[in-house]
Structure 1
Amino acid sequence: MTNSDEYWYCPFAYGYTNYSRIGYAKHLLTYTDVVSYDGKKLSTTIGGTGLSVSAFSKHQQEAVAFTEFVCSPQYQINGYIYNEGQPGYLQAWKSQLNNELTNNFFSNVLPVMENGYMRPRYHGYLHFQDEAGIYVQEYLLGKQKSESLVLEKLNEIYMKSIEKNLSKVFI
């Protein structure tokens, strides 16, 4: 969408501030709230990337200091945005300046985040998401007609993902 005029609307897309910043791509994107269905606003899955320090790092003190720095409210509100980051700090999302820099990305997307469902973070979930998506897509494309068979398969994949998680916890 940022490089051609072929598409002009996408009801569900990952939200990245870069695409809402002047000069990042050929076309500037404007993000909005989630669409409604039967008069009810839909909910999306939200997630993100975490920040951690490896127990095996040869530079733990430096890594911890960097982590503290980039997670500090002052850097989240200012420096993180200026360096094209997407902060996790609510005040940064409510900042007028940050919204001016990003075509109101933060104020437009905040209702989506507040209404969203936090993606599960257990080991094995991403495998479930990838595998289950295939069956959901086949059903939506009409390649699979039986809802109950699709749900059975999703449940089977989910149970395997939980087993993977439990095996990691107890090892």
Structure 2
Amino acid sequence: MRYRALTWDHPRGYNALAAAAARLDEKRDGLAIAWDKQPLEGFEEHPIGDLCARYDLVVLDHPHIGEAVAQRCLVPLEDLFPEDEIAAWERDSIGPSLASYRFGGRHWALPLDAATQVTAFRADLTGGPAPATWDGVAALSDQAPVALSLAGPHACLSFLSMAAAFGEPPAVADPDRLVSAETGKRVLDLMALLAGRTPDLVRGRNPIGLLGHMARHDDVALCPLVYGYVNYAAPADPADKAIAFADAPRATADGRPGSTLGGTGIGVSIRCEVTPALRDHLRWLLGAEAQDRFIPDHDGQPSRRAAWHDDRVNARWGGFYRNTAATLEAAYVRPRHDGYIAFQAAASAILRDGLAGGEPHAAILDRLQRRYAESRTVGTER
């Protein structure tokens, strides 16, 4: 059986999957998988229904789950695997990596890859370790160039993470309210300060572009919130400087690291004819051999907790995993309702435009809340 599959265009998203597929022999193993790639922006924003109509397996981000369920384009894991196997994956996965794909009482993707926003810095430019608190980040920005990740959906994601650090994970206590006026103002005051100090050259760059810029230029010493990419901790190109990674900033030294969960899962589309051989291959990708060795050895970021604390893995990648594991364990899970993805894009534009134009922060918050409320009505309109 031959399968078409789609992932995203970066070594972290593609190399391990392609290498695993290359080990398959259709005559011997009963399946062959051809992995295509799409840009990061497509992974973040492309309609999931369209992708599932064209591919058997789709690597996706958990906020797409509500949209996928509304469009009935994915097969729930409960229809493919025994409950005890799913429960074991949940126990073994770091942080909410698998839990984030649970929606409407079922799981909709296998947690292949784990990631969240962490602090990235050049130790040769900061003169020491990354600041542990947001006050420390603000103080460092007086002395060294600091950049916020604001391109695409990341302005919104930074806002959500800061709110979580300040004790109010958005839309958790009250699913109809994004954040309180007090927390929102505190976040926007800090975002305005740091956005004003972000070098123009990196304002439009996604996390891959921002980290690549940091590796080759000396005009960004630290980005307090950017999705972690292990590849930049031990670059293959000798022209690149190694980037150090640390836990996301906290409001206080003993507080929660505020970070919004990323990572990827493998969804099985309804067009896919699932064979025992495909099930076994997916099981292997989540097993100890693949997660603790094969995936890290092929530029991927495993979702299995044990790999993040593995001495061999950390030695190979400059301590990236152990240095950021606490942030991943505490990561905030975004809303996943149908309509959330459109809100995330709109909210980022509201934040970028409002901060750049000096709009009163209360007005920015009002626009964010209105747009969030509108997103909650999408599913009721179908």
The Cα of 1:80 is off from its aligned counterpart by: 1.1
CA deviation digits over 1:3-22, x for unaligned, max 9?
22222211111101111124
**Judging changes above 3 Å, is the alpha-carbon distance between structure 1 residues 165 and 74 closer, same or farther for their aligned structure 2 residues?**
farther
1:12 pairs with 2:211: no
* 1:1-171 to 2 correspondences below 5 Å: 1-23=214-236, 26-37=240-251, 40=255, 42-58=257-273, 60-61=274-275, 62-141=277-356, 143-147=358-362, 149-167=363-381
**Aligned letter for 1:6?**
D
Indicate if the aligned counterparts of 2:246 and 2:324 stay in contact, CA closer than 8 A.
yes
Q: In structure 1, how many angstroms separate the alpha carbons of the residues matched to 2:281 and 2:223?
A: 36
CA deviation digits over 1:33-60, x for unaligned, max 9?
12244655541111221112222025x2
Larger relative contact order, structure 1 or 2 (CA cutoff 8 Å, min sep 6): 2
SS at the partner of 1:51?
strand
CA deviation digits over 1:77-121, x for unaligned, max 9?
111111111111100101011111111110111111122211233
Q: In structure 2, how many angstroms separate the alpha carbons of the residues matched to 1:158 and 1:96?
A: 43
Q: In structure 2, how many angstroms separate the alpha carbons of the residues matched to 1:24 and 1:90?
A: 29
Q: RMSD of aligned C-alpha atoms?
A: 2.2
Higher fraction of strand:
2
Q: In structure 2, how many angstroms separate the alpha carbons of the residues matched to 1:107 and 1:42?
A: 15
Indicate if the aligned counterparts of 1:52 and 1:67 stay in contact, CA closer than 8 A.
no
SS at the partner of 1:68?
helix
SS at the partner of 2:246?
coil
Aligned residues: 166
Q: In structure 1, how many angstroms separate the alpha carbons of the residues matched to 2:256 and 2:356?
A: 24
Q: In structure 1, how many angstroms separate the alpha carbons of the residues matched to 2:304 and 2:285?
A: 11
**Aligned letter for 1:20?**
A
**Judging changes above 3 Å, is the alpha-carbon distance between structure 1 residues 35 and 82 closer, same or farther for their aligned structure 2 residues?**
same
The Cα of 1:73 is off from its aligned counterpart by: 2.5
